[in-house]
Amino acid sequence: MEKIKVAMIGAAGKMGTRMARSLMTMPDRYEVKLVEGYAPAVPRVEAELGMKCVSAQEAIDFADIVVFAVKDSMIKELSKQYVPMLKPGTVFMILDPAAAIAKEVTLRDDCTFVVTHPCHPSFLKWQKEEEAFQDRFGGDGGHQDVVMSKICGDDDKMEMVKEATKCMYRADDVFLLTTEQIAFLEPTLVEVMGACFLYAMAETVDEGVKRGIPREAAVSFMTGHVLNLSANFLGYLPGNPPVSDACKVAIQLGNRLVLREDWRKVWDDEVLEKVIATMLHPENPKI
């Protein structure tokens, strides 16, 4: 079977290094070239991965798949530079949907453009090894899933992309969604909502510590209940037992005291577009 050739642009970044390392564990199937534009980071990534970085042109001329592992805020300008360099038929992969939704990615009719993004290891997913359990980000042993979408291009390329994506992220499953659906997962689901709540949970632990509760006790109590209640509310407890009546009352009080009554508007298309535009360009907020 012919090897899949992958160019990793932004190889020294957190995602780029992990993804390149994963591909390099299967040398019979994947051939990788590294590109890193930030000169001070080049020696580190070369030492870590045991491979020399090459020019962008060399890597792009070589590649079946170009992975664009750069910051979202840089995609608009850098894709103008790199996309014209692609060979016809190349797959161009970005790692977040924001720039695609904001139409800041330079596209071509003769190439295929995709978005992939890791789910990260779930606390509801069994981690068989201690190394996997300690990998809270994913890609270094932790078992995780991935979401993927085609922005535009050749459907026939998608099986190859799915295979490579599964290897790059060391994923158990790859969920095929639309680009807009991935954008609703991030930022709406996990950042505007999830990260906001979780940051508030960390702050409420601090409030408990101020009142003399040992931090270890507060963290253990909070994280244990987060696991238990998440499994309950998402339907992962056998028999789907209900929470107590007192908990139901407390939830209603929290809805009144903590949440805005119109919080579900974050799922409106118009709000999503404004959120993404503001995240990409915070100096010019739209919301």
285 within a domain of the structure (yes/no): no
Same-domain pairing of 98 and 164: yes
- CB contact at 8 A, 34 and 9: no
Rounded to whole angstroms, the Cα distance separating 275 from 154 reads 30
Rounded to whole angstroms, the Cα distance separating 33 from 248 reads 54
DSSP 157: G
**pLDDT at res. 1:** 76
What's 48's domain CATH number? Answer: 3.40.50.720
286 within a domain of the structure (yes/no): no
Rounded to whole angstroms, the Cα distance separating 184 from 97 reads 9
Same-domain pairing of 46 and 107: yes
Same-domain pairing of 76 and 111: yes
Same-domain pairing of 209 and 166: no
Positive or negative, the Cα torsion across 167, 168, 173, 177? negative
Query: Measuring CA to CA, which residue among 117, 172, 116 is closest to residue 141?
Result: 172
89 within a domain of the structure (yes/no): yes
pTM: 0.91
Residue 140's pLDDT band (boundaries 50, 70, 90)?
confident
- For 238, the 3-state DSSP assignment is coil
Same-domain pairing of 223 and 135: no
Same-domain pairing of 37 and 127: yes
**pLDDT at res. 240:** 84
109 within a domain of the structure (yes/no): yes
Segments forming the whole domain that contains residue 81? 4-177
Which residues share a beta bridge with 116? 148
Same-domain pairing of 15 and 129: yes
Domain boundary pick from 149, 177, 205: 177
Same-domain pairing of 15 and 119: yes
Please write the tens of the pLDDT for every residue from 167-195: 999 999 999 999 999 999 999 999 999 99
Please write the tens of the pLDDT for every residue from 227-252: 999 999 999 998 889 899 999 999 99
Task: Domain count for the chain, please give it.
Answer: 2
Rounded to whole angstroms, the Cα distance separating 39 from 66 reads 20
Residue 141's pLDDT band (boundaries 50, 70, 90)?
confident
Same-domain pairing of 146 and 273: no
Q: What is the mean pLDDT of the chain?
A: 95
Angle between helices 14-24 and 42-49 (to 10 degrees): 30
Share of the chain above pLDDT 90, in %: 89
